[in-house]
Amino acid sequence: MSSSVRVTFQPENKTVSAAPGDTLLDVAGNAGISINSLCGGQGVCGKCRLKVVKGSVDFSSKGVGFLDRKEVDAGYVLACQAKLLQDDVEVWIPPESRQEEEQILTVDHLVHYTAPEVLEEGGASPSIPYFNPLCAKIFLNLPEPSLKDNLSDLERIYRELHRKFPDVKWEADFSCLKNLARLLRESRWEVTALAHMLDPHCYHLRALEPGDTSRRSFGVAIDVGTTTIVTQLVDLRTGQVTAVEASHNQQARYGEDVISRMIFACGRGGTDPLKNAVVNTINALISSLMASAGIKPQDIIAFVAAGNTTMTHLLLGLEPCTIRLEPYIPTATRFPWVRAADVGLIGHPEAVLHCMPCVSSYVGGDITAGVLACGMNDKPELSALIDIGTNGEIVIGNNEWLVCCSASAGPAFEGGGTRCGMRATKGAIQKVQIHGSKVTYETVGAAKAKGICGSGLIDLMAELAAEGIIDQSGKFIRLDHPQVRVVDGVPEFVVAFPHESETGEAVVMTQDDIGNLMKSKAAVLAAMKILLENLGLHFDSLERIYVAGGFGAHLDIEKSVRIGLLPDVPLDRVQFIGNSSVAGARQCLLSTHAFRKASAIARQMTYFELSVHPGFMNEFIAALFLPHTNMDIFPSVKNYLMARKASAEAQG
């Protein structure tokens, strides 16, 4: 019995060794080939289809339902369910099973903190209280000691730091003393201090290095998403974003959502593989950031990470197990800073990592970052932040109070749970317009259509409803439309025909897809309505609504209102702010004031538990309409639909 077999992946033509019993999904992962797997290898999403070209594998009956007869005959298997036998095999990965780089939402539409000029002292300035980076490199040109000026080496450094920062106490880490005498004399009394400035009254001296390195002082803001990780390299001297990189979270191998990852971590898998996967993902991004900016690891001295509570725990190597079980207790919600090197991140050996504070097990640091980034906690006006991911999080409040809730929106707007749903990567249909029989669409990168991303799904639903192709319950009613077809008795709308598509198959939205999207948008709106009503408020009370999420770069606010995902308020009240998580993390890198504000936000926020609320289910059912069962709360949509109908009848 051979102890290893060879697996060749096409079209890469990459061959690796593996052991009998390994799944093709794991082998691909170990070979560095990313294959779609929404369910994390449970055999329930059908996204990881491969074709076995040579040799044979053990493919269990589980997951066969995702393949039709023809596909099975052609050698298709689900990679997660196909186990190696004693045979060498060769497999081919079809385009739709391949994870490609997304057009990930790496930018945010938020004000950048920018120092008005490069600060000579390398950091804080009393005239710009909000620009006070968490860490700074400070060049010190020390006077040489003499019999008359015989302070100790450390006191000499303190004296110079006091000169530059008169109102601040300094404390050195003990490690700074090691070889200090030699360092100062060999560098001819010119050294650069690495300062950690979290506490405004007492700065910490973390390291000293020879010469003047103060011009190479960078931080990395990280949005640690369940699906996607986004990083920004920030120049801590100027506040400018120098480079941006994003990629999939390699943790997806262990489960697509936080629940399946927690199950993995708390089962025999343990926390380590998940921690290593996210750290490896971030390190790969840091390497790219360094390459773009032409900097070295020791130039990166601070990290701020924003993630949901589970992702933050996994990044820090903390067991997330108690988060998942009643009474749902995380290890921490405010996290002490930690040496980034201790977590395994590439950077200066004394760089620090701060994680954004979380509110509870189900409202994480990404939301705290979002509130901080949109600034709703600073304004007297009543605002809402809606962050739509696999969980839809909603925060309502102002400068006096903040209440939040979390609704299980499902992955529909991120490309999961729909036949042709995909993330906003190349070939994703991101905009759709329908005028009678004329259907037009735009794809990401103007490439051949491969699927539909969140913004495309919203557009498409809104257009189908506006054209009367589906009714208010989402049911297809105009089966005569040239792009509606019925397969096995179930109607679907063809957005792109096979000849237009990358895969040679039609890109469609099925009746089931509409049902899933309906549930997602209903969950978000119902959650928001219940939350407002419990506060004695209604949609119209909201003077501003900030929308954040992974829909793609182009979210059509008006169409989002028309399907009832967002409430019907004047459009100028609604602002799409993009990736508010990384924006909040960046603000904290650049302002300890912002970081303290984030702590206050997390402490201040009240969590409202929807799942136990008796009215939620009714509201959810009422919202399973386009836009809503109660059209009176969507007056502008009502008018729009009436006008559109009248115009159609006039033309008809």
DSSP bridge partners of 219: 234, 302
335 binds its own copies (CB under 8 A): yes
Q: Pick from 107, 259, 284, 338 the residue near its own copies by CB under 8 A.
A: 338
- As given in the structure block, the two tokens for residue 579 are 């990736």
Pick 405 or 569: Cβ nearer its own copies: 405
- Beta strand 218-224 with 169-172 is unpaired
Pick 355 or 496: Cβ nearer its own copies: 355
CA neighbours closer than 13 Å in the CB half-sphere of residue 157: 28
We find the least distance from the C-beta atom of residue 420 to its own copies, in angstroms, to be 40
Pick 54 or 178: Cβ nearer its own copies: 178
Helix (H) or strand (E) holding 64: none
Pick 171 or 533: Cβ nearer its own copies: 171
Q: Pick from 72, 291, 329, 487 the residue near its own copies by CB under 8 A.
A: 329
CA neighbours closer than 13 Å in the CB half-sphere of residue 577: 30
In angstroms, rounded to a whole number, what is the distance separating the alpha carbons of residues 452 and 272? 35
Sheet architecture: strand order including 544-549:
574-578, 544-549, 383-388, 391-397, 402-408, 606-607
Pick 180 or 622: Cβ nearer its own copies: 180
We find the least distance from the C-beta atom of residue 331 to its own copies, in angstroms, to be 5
Pick 364 or 491: Cβ nearer its own copies: 364
Q: 168-187 mask for its own copies (x: CB under 8 A)?
A: ---xxxx-xxxxxxx--x--
575 φ/ψ angles, rounded to the nearest 5 degrees: -130, 125
327 binds its own copies (CB under 8 A): yes
Helix (H) or strand (E) holding 560: helix 557-562
Piece of 48-56, 87-95, 311-319, 549-557 that binds its own copies (CB under 8 A): 311-319
Piece of 300-308, 334-342, 381-389, 581-589 that binds its own copies (CB under 8 A): 334-342
We find the least distance from the C-beta atom of residue 271 to its own copies, in angstroms, to be 10
317 binds its own copies (CB under 8 A): yes
Place of tokens 């991303």: 453
155 binds its own copies (CB under 8 A): yes
We find the least distance from the C-beta atom of residue 139 to its own copies, in angstroms, to be 21
Exposed/middle/buried for residue 126 (C-beta within 10 Å: 0-12, 13-18, 19+):
exposed
- As given in the structure block, the two tokens for residue 168 are 């601040």
* Calculated CA dihedral for residues 74, 75, 77, 82, nearest 10 degrees: 170
334 binds its own copies (CB under 8 A): yes
DSSP bridge partners of 300: 218
328 binds its own copies (CB under 8 A): yes
Place of tokens 């989002």: 560
322 binds its own copies (CB under 8 A): yes
365 binds its own copies (CB under 8 A): no
Pick 131 or 170: Cβ nearer its own copies: 170
Pick 115 or 184: Cβ nearer its own copies: 184
Angle, in degrees to the nearest 10, between helices 635-651 and 454-466: 60
Pick 11 or 336: Cβ nearer its own copies: 336
For the chain, what is the radius of gyration of the CA atoms? 27
150 binds its own copies (CB under 8 A): yes
Strand, coil or helix: what is 473?
coil
Piece of 10-18, 244-252, 357-365, 568-576 that binds its own copies (CB under 8 A): 357-365
We find the least distance from the C-beta atom of residue 391 to its own copies, in angstroms, to be 18
614 binds its own copies (CB under 8 A): no
On whether the CB atoms of residues 72 and 37 are closer than 8 A, the answer is no
330 binds its own copies (CB under 8 A): yes
We find the least distance from the C-beta atom of residue 277 to its own copies, in angstroms, to be 19
Which residues between 110 and 149 bind its own copies (CB under 8 A)? 145-147, 149
We find the least distance from the C-beta atom of residue 177 to its own copies, in angstroms, to be 6
Pick 152 or 630: Cβ nearer its own copies: 152
Q: Pick from 36, 214, 333, 390 the residue near its own copies by CB under 8 A.
A: 333
Pick 276 or 636: Cβ nearer its own copies: 276
We find the least distance from the C-beta atom of residue 154 to its own copies, in angstroms, to be 4
Pick 50 or 172: Cβ nearer its own copies: 172
Closest of 221, 171, 229, 206 to residue 298, by C-alpha: 206
Pick 142 or 284: Cβ nearer its own copies: 142
We find the least distance from the C-beta atom of residue 229 to its own copies, in angstroms, to be 21
Q: Report how many residues bind its own copies under the rule CB under 8 A.
A: 45
Helix (H) or strand (E) holding 231: strand 228-235
Piece of 109-117, 356-364, 391-399, 430-438 that binds its own copies (CB under 8 A): 356-364
Closest of 126, 316, 123, 295 to residue 205, by C-alpha: 123
In angstroms, rounded to a whole number, what is the distance separating the alpha carbons of residues 499 and 97? 19
- As given in the structure block, the two tokens for residue 463 are 């257009």
Three-state DSSP string of 124-184:
CCCCCCCCECCEEEEEEECCCCCCCCCCCHHHHHHHHHHHHCCCCEEEECHHHHCCHHHHH
We find the least distance from the C-beta atom of residue 577 to its own copies, in angstroms, to be 28
We find the least distance from the C-beta atom of residue 599 to its own copies, in angstroms, to be 12
Pick 326 or 649: Cβ nearer its own copies: 326
Q: How many CB atoms lie within 10 A of CB 498?
A: 11
Q: Where are the alpha helices (DSSP H) in 325-415?
A: 340-343, 365-374
On whether the CB atoms of residues 12 and 94 are closer than 8 A, the answer is no
- As given in the structure block, the two tokens for residue 409 are 């929106």
Which CA distances in Å does 47 have to 29, 341, 419, 506? 15, 36, 10, 16
319 binds its own copies (CB under 8 A): yes
Give CA 590 to chain center in angstroms. Answer: 21
331 binds its own copies (CB under 8 A): yes
Q: Which residues bind its own copies (CB under 8 A)?
A: 145-147, 149-155, 171-174, 176-182, 185, 316-319, 321-322, 326-338, 342, 358, 360-361
